[in-house]
Structure formats: C-alpha cells, structure tokens
C-alpha cells in the first residue's frame, strides 16, 4: 500500500498515528491535542518510545482479548443467575459492542484531556467494572458492570494507546506496528490460563475481583505514555480554530452555533455523506457489518461447546491460548508480506479469500467435540483470522481518501457494533431452542462465508465497471498540468478520483 505522504490530502504525518493490524486506525480518529504541532518535538523513533511500545502491547493484551475469555465462566454464570444461553451471552456481547461503539466518545476525551489521561481513565473504568461485577446479584446488573462500564473502559484505554504510539515512531513505524499488533494475541495466550487458574481457586466471583485488579494495570501503562510536547490549552485551540471570532449573541445565534458544532462533530467522526456517495465504502461497510454477525461468536462459544461434551476446562482454555500463539507468530510476517507492491490493488481479494476460509473453518469443529478436531479448527481459524486482521483496515484505507479516513472509521465502528451486540445472543437463542452447539458454528460458517462472497463479487463487479469506463476513454485518466492532480490520480484507489480530477479548477474555467 502506498504511503500516506504520497497520497496527499490527509492529515499531517504526526497526526497519522500508527495503525496496528487490527486496531490501528483508531489513531487517526483521535485528533489528539498531543499530536505534533508546528515546532513540537521530533518523534524519537526509540528512547522512551520503547517504553510506550511495551505499554501499548500490554494495554491491547488486557483489553481487546478480554471479552473472548468470558467463555471460561460461561457455565458458572448460567448456574448462578439461572440464565439461558441467550441471556448469558449478552455479557461478552455488550462488552465487545461498547468497546467498538465508544470510539467517537473516546476521540472527544482525547481531544479534551490527551492520550495519557484517557488511557488511565479507561483503566479505572475497566477495573472498577470487573470488581463491581463480583458483587452483582442479577444478570441485569452484570450487563451494566461487566458489559457497559468495563467495555467503555476498554475503549478508553486501547484507542489512545495506539494513538500516542504513532507520535513516538515515524521511521521505525512499520516495526512498531508489527510489534504492537501482537498485543491482542498475547492476551489470548495468557488470559485464558489466568482465568482458568483463578476459576479453579476462587470461583467466578473471586476471579472477577482479581481480574479487576489486573485491569487496573492499564493505569500504570497509561502513566508512562507522556506526550512529546506540552499540549495546547483547550481555550487556545478553540480560539485558533475559530480564528478568534466572538461567540454569537442571542439565543438564536447560540442555537445555530450549537447545531453547527454538532454537524461538524458528526461529519468528523461518522461519514454519513461518504456512505451515500462512495459506493466502495458503502459495499465494504455493509460487508464488514455482515461479517461481524458471526465472526466473533465462535470465540465466545468454543469453551462452552468443548466443556459441555466432557472436555476438561483446562484443555478447553488451552484452545484459546493456541489461537493466540498462532496469531503472535503469523501476524507480523503476514503484515510485511502484504506491504509488497504486488498486492497493491489486490488487498480486497486476499481479504475476501481469507474471510471465506475463516467462515468455512467453523464447520470443522462440528465433526466431533474432541481435542484433536478442535485443535485443527483453532489452527485453521487462527491463520485465517491473522490474515483478516492484517487487512481489515488496510482495505478501508484503499477505499476512502485519507482525509476522510477517521470519519469513515467512526461510522464503520458504529455499524459493526450493532451486529457484534446481537450476534452472540442470537447464537445463544439458537442453542436454547435446539440444544445443539453445532448449529451455532454452522450458522457462523454460512454467515461469514456469504459475507466474503458478497465482498469479493461486489468489488470484482466495481473493478470491471471501472476498467470498462477507463477503456472507453482514449487516454484513460487525463493528465493535468498540476503535478498534485496527477499524483492523486495515480495513487488513490477511490473510484471517483479520476472524475474529481476531470472537474475544471478555478484557473481553468
């Protein structure tokens, strides 16, 4: 994929924070006041940046991998609250959904207080949420504490951590990118073992209390994420943005100003206009939202499925850890491989093929609930998951202009949070009605595979349509006298770029 600097029209280099393979693009949506301003310190590409890198890896390990480990306590929660599969599955579902849907709110907090304070606030939220969960008496209370409060804390921690890492690395950004992407996989390796040990020693209530204390370490990680330069005060930032204009007088003027600010905020963090005008972004958003309906469900139900058929909880938890190890060793070389020039323009097809393999792999575990079969399933699922995670946001960057990337990501996060919320409960309802976990994996297989075929066929049709339109023009995309326009035409993969270049500029009318 071409560098951001080549594409033009995007944020400054320091504003384009590091994008880890799975979570990275949240750095772009921050707009942090810690982002380098003119005259700010140069990113050290080392030094204290290595401490920030380690802290970011730990934050990602503690946050993004945590919802998948709730399955270890799944049976206990059912028995404690006399809940159905559908009711119990709302706990990790709400946690994951809030983690994604809270992105725009997290961006506002980063703008107001900076990355360090927001990460520490997220650590407090997630720690207190899990600790409070150990004292709940109803499943509804667990939805609030473990689902909403803890999920919001996860969101506040991992996004600013990714953001500030991009401020510390420019020249070594690819290496820092590959290293930070292993954080989620590291959490998948360690947290299942820790959860299973605590479950055997303390039960689910004691385990939640200890895990809440563990999550408070996000505060420690956030404390070392010091900004490179002192942030500007919010008053001076607002004055600079508004050009020193006086606030409007009168009730009507204030209301008009408030509506204007709200519209600007929505346009910045949720690109509704881009969804309507850019067909590629619309197709990709629909496809990813469709995918998330069944993509994470197997991680929630793998341990309950294995233990229901007699597998020891320790061996069932080992399956999740193996999934994490696979991602640790696969993601960095996969990310380096897909950065080669040959894959330019082919990212969406590799992504769709990996998504198809990931969906079909869910049917493997339906062969038999034995450790050997589930191990084969975890290996196939893990490799395809690593490829999907490596390309998920790379394809989005190929689809929209970098200047609109933060808002496009905000809208995509909101959309996918809806299906992430309803997916596990629907799967639990299926188990309650039929009594068979295998139907859940079959349903996930069909859902993810169909979304992969939808993306592959749609983008192939769009590419063929664009190629046909280019062939009908004698010289393809016309070259302009301005070098910047020719560069845009060469590097951007958005289908409307050529048409945009064809529109006469002010000096050509």
User: Tell me: the pLDDT tens digits for 150-168?
Assistant: 999 998 998 788 777 767 8
The structure tokens 């360090």 sit at 116
For the record, the structure tokens of 104 come out as 């725009």
Position 15 confidence tier, pLDDT thresholds 50, 70, 90: very low
Report whether pLDDT(27) > 50: no
For the record, the structure tokens of 89 come out as 């599955």
The structure tokens 């008496």 sit at 137
The structure tokens 């500029």 sit at 505
| 96: enclosing H helix or E strand | helix 85-101
Q: Are 491 and 6 in contact (CB under 8 A)?
A: yes
Q: Which residue has the higher pLDDT, 366 or 44?
A: 366
Distance CA(117)–CA(225), nearest Å, equals 9
Distance CA(405)–CA(402), nearest Å, equals 5
Is residue 56 helix, strand or coil? helix
For the record, the structure tokens of 120 come out as 């520490």
Distance CA(236)–CA(280), nearest Å, equals 39
Q: What is the pLDDT of residue 432?
A: 86
Distance CA(414)–CA(103), nearest Å, equals 8
Position 343 confidence tier, pLDDT thresholds 50, 70, 90: confident
What does pTM read for this prediction? 0.68
Q: What digits encode the pLDDT tens for the residues 281-325?
A: 999 999 999 999 999 889 888 888 888 888 888 888 888 888 888
Alpha helices for 400-437 (secondary structure H): 405-434
Q: Which residue has the higher pLDDT, 229 or 44?
A: 44
Distance CA(47)–CA(226), nearest Å, equals 13
Q: How many CB atoms lie within 10 A of CB 52?
A: 25
Contacts of 427 (CB under 8 A, 6+ apart): 85, 89, 297, 300, 301, 440, 443, 444
Report whether pLDDT(405) > 50: yes
Q: What is the pLDDT of residue 244?
A: 47
Could you give the domains of the chain? 4-231+269-466 (1.20.1250.20)
Report whether pLDDT(414) > 60: yes
Q: Which residue has the higher pLDDT, 301 or 232?
A: 301
Is residue 232 helix, strand or coil? coil
Q: Are 160 and 102 in contact (CB under 8 A)?
A: no
- What percentage of the chain has pLDDT greater than the value 70? 74
User: How many Cα atoms occupy the beta-carbon half-sphere of 166 within 13 Å?
Assistant: 29
Alpha helices for 224-312 (secondary structure H): 234-242, 251-269, 272-277, 279-295, 297-308
Distance CA(318)–CA(330), nearest Å, equals 18
């Amino acid at each position: 994929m071409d560098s951001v600097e080549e594409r033009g029209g995007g944020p400054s280099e320091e504003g384009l924070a590091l994008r880890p393979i799975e979570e990275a693009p949240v750095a772009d949506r921050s707009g942090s006041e810690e982002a380098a301003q003119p005259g700010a310190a140069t990113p050290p590409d080392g030094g204290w940046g290595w401490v920030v890198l380690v802290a970011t890896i730990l934050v990602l390990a503690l946050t993004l991998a945590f919802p998948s480990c709730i399955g270890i306590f799944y049976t206990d929660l059912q028995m404690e609250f006399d809940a159905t599969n559908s009711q119990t599955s709302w706990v990790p579902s709400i946690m994951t959904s809030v983690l994604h849907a809270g992105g725009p709110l997290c961006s506002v907090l980063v703008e107001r207080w900076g990355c360090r304070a927001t990460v520490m606030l997220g650590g407090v939220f997630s720690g207190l949420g899990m600790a409070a969960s150990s004292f709940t008496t109803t499943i509804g209370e667990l939805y609030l504490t473990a689902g909403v409060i803890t999920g919001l804390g996860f969101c506040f921690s991992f996004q600013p951590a990714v953001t500030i890492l991009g401020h510390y690395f420019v020249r070594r950004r690819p290496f820092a990118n590959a290293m930070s992407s292993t954080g989620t996989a590291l959490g998948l390796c360690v947290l299942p073992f820790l959860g299973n040990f605590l479950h055997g020693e303390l039960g689910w209530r004691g385990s939640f209390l200890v895990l809440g204390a563990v999550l408070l370490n996000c505060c420690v990680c956030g404390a070392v994420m010091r900004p490179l330069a002192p942030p500007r005060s919010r008053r001076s930032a607002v004055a600079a943005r508004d050009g020193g204009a006086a606030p409007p007088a009168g009730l009507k003027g204030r209301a008009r100003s408030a509506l204007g600010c709200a519209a600007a905020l929505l346009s910045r963090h949720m690109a509704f206009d881009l969804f309507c005008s850019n067909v590629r972004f619309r197709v990709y958003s629909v496809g990813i939202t469709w995918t998330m309906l069944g993509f994470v469900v197997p991680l929630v139900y793998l341990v309950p499925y294995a233990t229901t058929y007699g597998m020891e909880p320790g061996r069932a938890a080992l399956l999740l850890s193996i999934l994490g190890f696979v991602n640790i060793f696969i993601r960095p070389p996969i990310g380096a491989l897909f950065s080669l020039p040959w894959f330019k323009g082919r990212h969406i097809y590799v992504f769709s093929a990996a998504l198809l393999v990931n969906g079909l792999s869910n049917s493997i575990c339906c062969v038999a609930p034995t450790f050997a079969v589930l191990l084969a399933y975890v290996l196939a699922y893990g490799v395809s998951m690593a490829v999907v995670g490596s390309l998920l946001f790379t394809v989005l960057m190929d689809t929209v202009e970098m200047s609109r990337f933060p808002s496009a990501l905000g809208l995509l996060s909101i959309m996918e949070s809806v299906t992430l919320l309803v997916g596990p409960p629907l799967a639990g309802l299926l188990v309650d009605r039929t009594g068979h976990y295998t139907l859940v994996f079959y349903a996930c297989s069909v859902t993810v595979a169909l979304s992969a075929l939808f993306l592959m066929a749609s983008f192939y049709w769009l590419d063929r349509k664009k190629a046909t339109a280019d062939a009908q023009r004698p010289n393809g995309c016309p070259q302009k006298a301005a070098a910047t326009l020719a560069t845009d035409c060469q590097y951007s993969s958005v289908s409307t770029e050529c048409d945009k270049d064809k529109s006469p500029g002010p000096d050509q009318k």
